[in-house]
Amino acid sequence: FLGSFIGTAVGDALGAPFEGYYRVGLDEIETVAERLPVLTYTDDTHMMLGVAESLLRCQGFDGEDMARTFVRNYEDEPYRGYGPGPPRIFRMIRDGVPWDEAAGRLYHGGSFGNGSAMRVAPVGVFYRDNPETLRDVACASSQITHAHPLGKEGAALQAYAIALATVRSPSSDLDRAEFLSRL
């Protein structure tokens, strides 16, 4: 389980210098990794930690708690590379807009970006044995910042992939075709 969190954080930190690039070669990533004295994680990992905090504190999904956790974490560390949308959503929530309405108001139908998929690893781990609840929670947790159906479905797919990865035997070889067919 911890591997999904560490993998997300390391991938985030290694990928941060390339955000917005269309394609990056492994040699470019290795060069950056060798030159950076310290890897720093971004808003993606920061929000993933918020998802985990809220799920553990509430022993399940509580949208209000998760949204307030995002707000509090952002206010504590606003330098994590948040784009322009989330801080505006967080201010709206802090000012009383319901957590499940703020993103839709800001983006008129909701952002369909990948931000909620980037932070969803804890949902995949927490609900790994309950695919229906996993999907519902992935979509609901996405609603806080990415209310468009495409953003929600991307988060649900990512959470399910993480759930599948966490329940498979670590000693077995990964059959990619079979894994993809289960998604």
Residue 109 has pLDDT above 80, yes or no: no
Q: What is the mean pLDDT of residues 51-62?
A: 98
Q: Is 111 helix (H, G, I), strand (E, B) or coil?
A: coil
**Averaged confidence pLDDT in the chain:** 93
Q: What is the mean pLDDT of residues 153-160?
A: 96
Q: What is the mean pLDDT of residues 2-23?
A: 91
Measured CA to CA in angstroms, residue 120 lies from 124, 125, 160 at distances of 7, 9, 10
Cβ pair 149, 106 in contact under 8 A: no
Residue 174 has pLDDT above 90, yes or no: no
Predicted pLDDT at 176: 86
Cβ pair 155, 139 in contact under 8 A: yes
Residue 131 — very low, low, confident or very high, per pLDDT cuts 50/70/90? very high
Q: Is 145 exposed, middle or buried (0-12, 13-18, 19+ CB in 10 A)?
A: buried
Work out the percent of the chain whose per-residue pLDDT is above 70.
100
Separation between Cα atoms, residue 129 and residue 117, nearest integer Å: 19
Residue 129 — very low, low, confident or very high, per pLDDT cuts 50/70/90? very high
Predicted pLDDT at 175: 85
Tokens of 108: 């008129």
Cα 133 to chain centroid, rounded? 17
All domains of the chain, ordered by start, with CATH? 42-182 (1.10.4080.10)
Residue 178 has pLDDT above 90, yes or no: no
Which of 85, 66, 70, 72 is closest to 141 using CA atoms?
Answer: 66
Determine phi and psi for 15, rounding to 5 degrees: -85, -20
